[in-house]
Copies of this chain bind each other. A is one copy, B any other.
Amino acid sequence: MSFSLETWASPKIAQLQQMLLSSFETEESILHQACKYPLQTGGKRIRPLFLLATMEALGEELSQDAYICATALELIHTYSLVHDDLPCMDDDDFRRGKPTVHKIYGDGNAVLVGDAILTKAFEILSQCTPTHLPALLACIGKAAGTVGMIGGQALDVGLEGKITDLEQLKQLHSRKTGALICAAIDLATILCSVSEEKQATLHQFGQKIGLAFQLADDILDAEEDAKADGPPSFVKFLGINATAQQAEHLLEESLTLLNSLENPEALRRLALFTVKRDH
C-alpha cells in the first residue's frame, strides 16, 4: 500500500485545528472571535506537521506535548501573518483568499489580535510536562525572536539596510521562514531526547528544507507574477532555472540526512511536498 501524505496529515491537522481554536474559547468576546478568525482561514500547517513527522521519524508516539508545541508554532506563525499584513507593514487586504484581520476588525484591533495570539502560544506551553519545558521554551523563544523570525522580518522591511547580495537574502529567509521550520524539527528532537549527534543532523535537515521551502516559494511567486520592482528574491538573483536546481539539490541533501532514521516516510514525503507543492 502506498503512503498518502494527505491521509497521514488530515487527522493531525484536525486535532491541531481543535487545539488552535480552543485557545480562544474560554470566553465570549469579540476579541476572542477576532483571534479565532485568522486561525480558521486555512493554511498548510507545515510547521506543526514537520514537528509531528520528525517525532514519528524518530519512532516516538505523538504525545500531548508534541501537539502543544505544534499548536504554539502555528500560533506564532499566524500572529506574524496578522502583523505582517498591517498597512504599516506589507499592507495586504487579502490572505488565503479572505480579508485580512485588520480589514475586518481595524488596524488597532489587528495589533491586539496578533499580540494575543503570540501571548497564547507561550501560555499553552505551560501545559507541557515540566522536564522538557525550559528547552522547549528557549527553542521557541529564540526561533520567534530577534535572532530568528522577527530578525528576518526586520531584514525584510529594510531596517538593517538594503538586501544587495545572495548571502544577505539567505540570511533573511533562514530567519524569517527558516527559523520556525527548523524549530519544528528541533522541538521534536527535544521531546524525544535524542543524542546530540542526531539532533545536529536533524537540525541540518531543518535548515536545508527551510531554505528549499523559500526557494520553492520564490519560484511560485515568479511564475504567478513576475514584477521587476518586487522585493529581492532568489529568482531575481539566480534566475528561475538555477533557483529550481538549487531547491532540488537542497531537497536531495536533506533527504539523505534522514536515511538512518527509524520511520522517516512521513517526514520524507512532507519534505518533498514542501519543495514540490504540486505533489
> Chain A interface (Cβ within 8 Å of chain B)?
24, 26-27, 29-32, 34-35, 79-80, 83, 86-89, 105-109, 111-112, 114-116, 118-120, 122-128, 130-131, 133-135, 137-138, 140-142, 144-147, 150-151, 153-154, 157, 159-160
Note all chain B residues with C-beta closer than 8 A to A128. 134
The answer to whether A141 and B123 touch (CB under 8 A), given A30-B154, A130-B134, is yes
Note all chain B residues with C-beta closer than 8 A to A112. 83, 150, 153-154, 157, 159
Q: What number of copies of this chain does the assembly contain?
A: 2
Report yes or no: A88 in contact with B107, Cβ–Cβ below 8 A: yes
Note all chain B residues with C-beta closer than 8 A to A146. 24, 27, 29, 31-32, 35, 116, 119-120
Main secondary structure, interface of A, reads: helix
Report yes or no: A88 in contact with B115, Cβ–Cβ below 8 A: no
The answer to whether A125 and B137 touch (CB under 8 A), given A130-B130, A147-B26, A160-B30, is yes
A114 to B88: give the CA distance in the assembly, Å: 14
Report yes or no: A122 in contact with B108, Cβ–Cβ below 8 A: no
